[in-house]
Each structure stands twice: as C-alpha cells, then as structure tokens.
Structure 1
Amino acid sequence: MTDAAAVRRGYAKGRAKREELIEAATRLFGEVGYHSASLREISARVGISHPGLLHHFPTKEALLEAVLEHRDEVDMATFEADLAAGGDYFASLVRLVRRNAERPGIVELYCILSAEATAPDHPAHAYFQRRYRTVLDRSQAELEQRAAEGRLRADVDPEHTARALVALMDGLQVQFLLERDAGGPVVDMAEALQTYVSLVLAP
C-alpha cells in the first residue's frame, strides 16, 4: 500500500468513527439530555477509549455542535431537494414531519435539547434561538407571499400564523413521544399539520 493510499484509508476510518460517535451521541442525548449524558458512556457505546473520543471531539460542547449540525444537514438536504423538485413549502414541511415520525430518536433529541436549551447558559441556547428565528422568518415570508398572490385566507395574519405553525409542530412532537408507549393510537403528526395548513391557505 502506498503512503497516499494509507493516508486515505486512515482518513476514511477516522471519518467513519466520527460518524459513529455522532450517532451514539444523538441517541444518548435523546435518551437522557445533554447535561446527563456522559462522554465515557458515548465512547463505550462506540467501543473506543475516552481519549480516543477526545481525539475527534475535544469537548462535550464540540460533540453537541456536531450532532446538531448533522441533524440539520440531513433534514435540510431532503427538504431543499423537495423544493428544488418543484415542491410547495408547506407540503415539503409535512413530508419532513412524516419522515421524522419514522425516526423517533431524532424527535426525542429535538424535544429534550430544545427544552434544556431555554436556559441561557446551555451550550445549544444560541443554536436554538437561531433555528427558531430562521424557521419563523421563512414561514412568515412564505405566508406573506401567498397573501400577495391571493392564496391565503384574508383573515390570516402571517406573523402570528408562522408562530402558531412552529408551536404546533413542537407540540405534536411532544404528543407523539408521550403516546407511542401508551398502548393506544399515536398522533399522526404529518396529518395534523396538513389539516392546520389546509385551514389557513385559501382554497
């Protein structure tokens, strides 16, 4: 094996191990939250030493940042691909919610971390502030565009409706998590969101 091939192989192995750590951290953060999660537990789940984990992520905050970035990359790549293929913004949101229902670990992660991150000293506080602002602004802009085109009910306020839309998606995730182990029917998050969207958009 040439030196260059050895370097490429080492890089590929390192990248694969980094992805394993992100997946393990995603699961653990979703199970117990950021503060209760242990780097040693994450490294044990992946089968490497604690110093080995620190080689990839020197701090717990760096690992959290990687977890959140990975989640956004996966979600946004699919969401933007929907839009690029000519999909409607709100129809694409509904499809994203439907995909998330098939990944309950991701739903857990978001619910627990977003609640924890309301504390100003939480390392993800600024991240969630930016994320909420981005989603609110984009949803409001989409609603305003529809209003200008006559595709929004006249009595619908774009700013308030954008906030209600985000609050609905968050609330549906909480209901989904609480109901999935209760033995009864589980809320269909995508269908509930579609129903709300249908109420505010003009026929």
Structure 2
Amino acid sequence: MAGQRGEYAKSAKRREEILDAAFTVFSRSGFTGATVSEIAREVGMSQPGLLHHYDGKLAMLEAVFERRDQVALDILSGRRDLEFLRGLVEISRRNHEKRDLIRLYTVIAAEATNPDHPAHAHFQRRFDRVVSGTEQAFAQAAELGLLKEGVTPRDAALSSIAQTEGLQLLWLSGFNEIDMAEGARLHMQQFLTVEL
C-alpha cells in the first residue's frame, strides 16, 4: 500500500511538471502553435510518456486553466452578494502577480472565440459560469436593497466582467500603472448604494 501511495505521489508530481511545461509552451506558442512533442521536450519526457498522463493538448490546456480557476473558486467559495463582489476584487489583486498566466489566458481566450477552436467550449462554459456567478451576486445585493435603482444584475455583471477583461488587456499592453483590483472595485461600486 505504501508503494502505491509513493507511485501516486510521483505521478501527481509528474502531472504538475507537465502542466508547468505546457504553460511555458502555450505562453510561448499559443494553443494553436504549440505541439504535444514540444511540451514533451520541455518537460523531458517522450511523447507517449506525456500522453500517459494527459490525452492531448486540449486536456493539458484545460488542466492549466482549471488549476488557475481553482484559486478563484477557493476565494469565492461560500461568498454571497457584496462579499462575492469583494472576492472578485481580490482575484484581480492576485492576478497582478501572474502576468504570464494572464497573458496566456488572454491570448487563448481570444483564439477560442472562433467556434471551431478546440478550446471554444471550455471558454464558453467558463464565461457562462463567471457571468452567472456575478449576476447572482448583484441579484443578492438587489434583494438587500444595495443595488442602485434602474440597474439590472445582468447588466452590472456583464459590464463588470467586460471592464475587468479590458483592464487586463491594457495592463498586458504596457499600461503598468493600472491597478486592476481598484479598477474592478470602482467599476462595481457605481452599481451599488454602499461602499464595496
């Protein structure tokens, strides 16, 4: 039994190393330009060895983004209304320390707007989840009387997400003075009757 645990730990460590290599290659080449053989070379494995852990390039990409999204999910777990919105601000604050990951996300999210892109469904699901969660938080704020009159939770959610994504793009483009967390907070603040 101890041997199996040791093998599991080695396998889990190897999978993390593969994801680190996939992140490096995707950052350098984008999803379309990256190859499984390039990722295998980056991690120092054979292609069949790598495919033993992940069944292809898309599976690795999804795992890279799931690892990123898990941090956000942990921050938002159990939060409602204003606390959920404050969690979104915290995610923007942490993203400031992850420029390469944000760049990768932005490039591949843009590539995946093409319905034929292999990651299109993944990003569609992700955006649906983000919009739904943010809309629900604004709706909960409305139930507490904290949403300004005339503001719909859906519009507030879409506007807030668009603003956050846009700030990230500007920041990546060299506008380093941008404080993404404060920008997100100020933007969401305009929809609320209380301080966020």
State yes or no: 1:156 paired with 2:151: yes
Contact 2:82 2:141 in 1 (8 A): no
Counterpart amino acid of 1:168?
Q
1:14: how far off? 1.3
Cross-structure match for 2:96: 101
Give the whole-Å Cα distance in 1 for the aligned partners of 2:27 and 2:118. Answer: 16
Q: Is the 8 A contact 1:140 1:159 kept in 2?
A: yes
| Alignment of structure 1 residues 46-125 onto 2, 5 Å | 46-80=43-77, 83=79, 88-125=83-120
Determine the C-alpha separation between the residues in 1 that align with 2:155 and 2:166: 16
Instruction: Give the structure 2 partner of residue 30 of structure 1.
Output: 27
Structure-2 residue corresponding to 1:169: 164
Q: Deviations over 1:90-116 (max 9, x none)?
A: 111000111111111221121011111
Structure 1 partner of 2:192? 201
Q: Following the alignment from structure 1 to structure 2, what is the Cα–Cα distance between the partners of residues 146 and 124?
A: 33
| 2:42 alignment partner in structure 1 | 45
Letter of the 1:70 counterpart: R
Determine if the alignment matches structure 1 residue 8 to structure 2 residue 2.
no
SS in 2 for 1:62: helix
RMSD in angstroms over aligned alpha carbons?
2.0
Are 2:185 and 1:190 aligned?
Answer: no
Match of 1:17 in 2: 14
Residue 140 in structure 1 maps to residue 142 in structure 2: no
**Distance in 1 separating the partners of 2:161 and 2:138:** 13
Report deviation, 1:74: 2.7
Question: Which string of whole-angstrom CA distances, capped at 9 and with x for unpartnered residues, describes residues 127-182 of structure 1?
Answer: 111111111122122212222221111132222121111101111110111116xx
**Preserved CA contact (<8 Å) 2:148 2:193:** yes
CA distance in 2, matches of 1:17, 1:104: 24
- Bigger mean CA deviation after superposition, 105-114 or 69-78: 69-78
Task: Give the structure-1-normalised TM-score.
Answer: 0.87
Taking the aligned partners of 1:117 and 1:55, their CA distance within structure 2 comes to 26
Give 1:61 deviation, angstroms. 2.0
Unpaired stretches in structure 2, ≥5 consecutive residues:
none
Give me the whole-angstrom Cα distance separating, in 2, the residues matched to 1:50 and 1:200. Answer: 51
Q: CA deviation at 1:87?
A: 7.4
Maintained 8 Å contact 1:21/1:42: yes
| Matched-pair identity in % | 39
Tell whether the 8 Å contact from 2:138 to 2:147 is kept in structure 1 after alignment: yes
Q: Which amino acid aligns with 1:199?
A: Q
Return the alpha-carbon distance in structure 2 between the equivalents of residues 140 and 19 of structure 1.
33
Query: How much has 1:126 moved relative to structure 2?
Result: 1.0
Unaligned runs of 5+ in 1: none
